[in-house]
């Protein structure tokens, strides 16, 4: 697919909330987000002929057709994605966590194949309570390797897994705790300028991070995302159609994805992540250099995730992430604007839609809709999504028309 054939024309995003005041089913959430995003893009409902979604909880089987029917979409393609929570999508109602970048990749490819007018991508998190007991999703099913070889050890959910990654990284590349804490602090400062950020009124200092409770060594509480309710959607369309909309079209000019493992135990390398391959592919496809990037939006479920992603995306060499972080100002008006919406650490992790926030922020920045946190002259964004245990990774290059 060519680098400028598909563009994001509009978006919708709910402010993450700790308690959801309007309980709704996932199909209802998808409908509301789709309506909001279509209005933002000034695209008619009748033009939509494709959809990509996270899980549909009221209809786990045949979810695409269930959603097409519910939304009244006559789709020429439709699918559920289960890739890299970080980027483009989100999934479900329950676990707090990942994000997806995978879905936007499908948008461009399918648009190229079939040339529809518009595709709606909806992700949401509906009104159910987060599960307190969040084991690896599906990990304890009959026959599952996790159920036999991980869960009995206490290796459940994401935090201990990312703590293992951090442990290995810090042993190989000693990094001051203050350096990792800076990620959380600067993202929180960015969040102060995002009206939708859950922590917009709660600035933190390096000392706050270092003195917060140890959750899973070496990760401390303020280095860990807080699961919330929320959701989002973006509208992907052909570039020529996007050009007729109210906003600057945002081209999906490069994408890549990479998966190698589910459990961190079996990752080919704990600190050399699949993001490397995904990002290299995205940059090459877009023909964009790292130095061309105006805003970086790496998935940030934990501080260590950001550090590894910056290295593996090629912004610095493996092992140099600490120095890179010390050398750069990550705030929206800094020399390396990063997660200008506050990241998920500062904005809140909207469940399975959390990763979409990195996409929507890229779009807002490129369209000049960043408000107080607008990055000066923003044309190129690097976006990354991570699903699972540094496992399902995607990278996007988004560029303004």
Partner 1 sequence: MGTRMSEDGRPLPVPNPTTAPFFDAAREGRLRLQRCPRDGLFFYPRSRCPGCLGDDWSWEDVSGRGSLHAFTVDRVGHDPALTRDVPFAIAVVELEEGPRMTARMVDCGLDDLRVGMPVEATFETLEDVPLVRFRPRQVERLPIGGA
Residues that bind partner 1 (CB under 8 A): 132-135, 139-157, 159-160, 163-168, 171, 213-219, 263-266, 270
Q: Which is nearer to partner 1, 210 or 401 (CB)?
A: 210
Q: Which is nearer to partner 1, 17 or 134 (CB)?
A: 134
Measure the CA–CA gap between 400 and 298, rounded to whole angstroms: 19
Question: Please, what is the minimum distance in Å from the beta carbon of residue 162 to partner 1?
Answer: 9
Burial classification of residue 89, based on how many CB atoms lie within 10 Å of its CB (0-12 exposed, 13-18 middle, 19 or more buried): buried
Q: Which is nearer to partner 1, 159 or 237 (CB)?
A: 159
Measure the CA–CA gap between 394 and 387, rounded to whole angstroms: 9
Measure the CA–CA gap between 332 and 376, rounded to whole angstroms: 9
Q: Which is nearer to partner 1, 49 or 223 (CB)?
A: 223
Q: Which is nearer to partner 1, 19 or 174 (CB)?
A: 174
Question: Please, what is the minimum distance in Å from the beta carbon of residue 214 to partner 1?
Answer: 5
Question: Please, what is the minimum distance in Å from the beta carbon of residue 307 to partner 1?
Answer: 15
Question: Please, what is the minimum distance in Å from the beta carbon of residue 145 to partner 1?
Answer: 5
Question: Please, what is the minimum distance in Å from the beta carbon of residue 261 to partner 1?
Answer: 10
Question: Please, what is the minimum distance in Å from the beta carbon of residue 369 to partner 1?
Answer: 38
Element (H, E) at 361: helix 356-366
Question: Please, what is the minimum distance in Å from the beta carbon of residue 270 to partner 1?
Answer: 6
DSSP string, 197-246: -TTTT----HHHHHHSPEEETTEEGGGB--B-B-EEEEEEEEHHHHTTSS
State whether the Cα torsion 82-87-93-94 is positive or negative.
positive
Residues 6+ apart with CB under 8 A from 97: 85, 134, 158, 225, 227, 301, 349, 351, 352, 354
Q: Which is nearer to partner 1, 143 or 291 (CB)?
A: 143
Q: Which is nearer to partner 1, 83 or 155 (CB)?
A: 155
Question: Please, what is the minimum distance in Å from the beta carbon of residue 302 to partner 1?
Answer: 12
Measure the CA–CA gap between 274 and 383, rounded to whole angstroms: 14
Question: Please, what is the minimum distance in Å from the beta carbon of residue 174 to partner 1?
Answer: 11
Q: Which is nearer to partner 1, 274 or 337 (CB)?
A: 274
Residues 6+ apart with CB under 8 A from 215: 159, 163, 221, 224
Burial classification of residue 133, based on how many CB atoms lie within 10 Å of its CB (0-12 exposed, 13-18 middle, 19 or more buried): exposed
Are the C-beta atoms of 54 and 85 separated by less than 8 Å? Answer: no
Element (H, E) at 321: helix 321-327
Adjacency order of strands within the sheet including 77-80: 77-80, 48-53, 118-124, 231-238, 6-13, 250-259, 392-400, 380-387, 295-297
Are the C-beta atoms of 57 and 126 separated by less than 8 Å? Answer: yes
Q: Which is nearer to partner 1, 239 or 273 (CB)?
A: 273
């Amino acid at each position: 697919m060519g680098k400028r054939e598909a563009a994001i024309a509009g978006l919708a995003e709910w402010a993450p909330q700790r308690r959801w005041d309007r309980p709704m089913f996932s199909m209802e959430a998808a409908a509301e987000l789709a309506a909001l995003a279509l209005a933002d893009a000034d695209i008619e409902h009748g033009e939509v002929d494709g959809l990509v979604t996270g899980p549909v909880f009221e209809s786990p089987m045949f979810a695409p057709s269930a959603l097409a029917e519910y939304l009244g979409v006559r789709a020429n393609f439709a699918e559920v994605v289960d890739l890299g929570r970080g980027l483009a999508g989100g999934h479900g109602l329950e676990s707090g966590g990942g994000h997806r970048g995978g879905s936007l990749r499908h948008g461009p490819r399918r648009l190229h194949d079939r040339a529809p007018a518009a595709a709606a991508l909806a992700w949401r998190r509906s009104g159910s309570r987060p599960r307190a007991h969040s084991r690896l999703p599906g990990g304890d099913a009959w026959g599952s390797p996790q159920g036999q070889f991980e869960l009995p050890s206490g290796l459940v959910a994401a935090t201990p897994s990312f703590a293992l990654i951090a442990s290995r990284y810090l042993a190989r590349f000693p990094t001051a705790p203050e350096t990792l804490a800076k990620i959380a602090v600067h993202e929180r400062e960015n969040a102060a300028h995002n009206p939708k950020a859950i922590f917009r009124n709660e600035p933190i200092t390096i000392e706050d991070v270092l003195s917060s409770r140890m959750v899973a060594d070496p990760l401390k509480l303020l280095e860990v995302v807080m699961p919330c309710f929320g959701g989002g959607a973006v509208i992907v369309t052909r570039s020529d159609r996007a050009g007729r909309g109210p906003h600057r079209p945002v081209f999906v000019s490069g994408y890549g994805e990479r998966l190698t493992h589910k459990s961190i135990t079996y990752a080919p390398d704990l600190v050399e992540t699949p993001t490397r391959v995904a990002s290299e592919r995205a940059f090459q496809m877009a023909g964009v250099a790292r130095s061309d990037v105006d805003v970086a939006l790496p998935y940030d479920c934990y501080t260590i995730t950001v550090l590894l992603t910056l290295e593996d995306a090629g912004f610095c060499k493996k092992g140099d992430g600490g120095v890179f972080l010390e050398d750069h100002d990550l705030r929206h008006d800094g020399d390396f604007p990063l997660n200008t919406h506050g990241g998920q650490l500062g904005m809140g992790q909207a469940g399975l839609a959390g990763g979409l926030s990195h996409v929507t922020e890229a779009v807002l920045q490129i369209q000049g809709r960043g408000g107080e946190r607008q990055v000066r002259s923003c044309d190129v964004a690097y976006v990354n999504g991570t699903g699972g245990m540094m496992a399902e990774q995607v990278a996007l290059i988004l560029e303004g028309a």
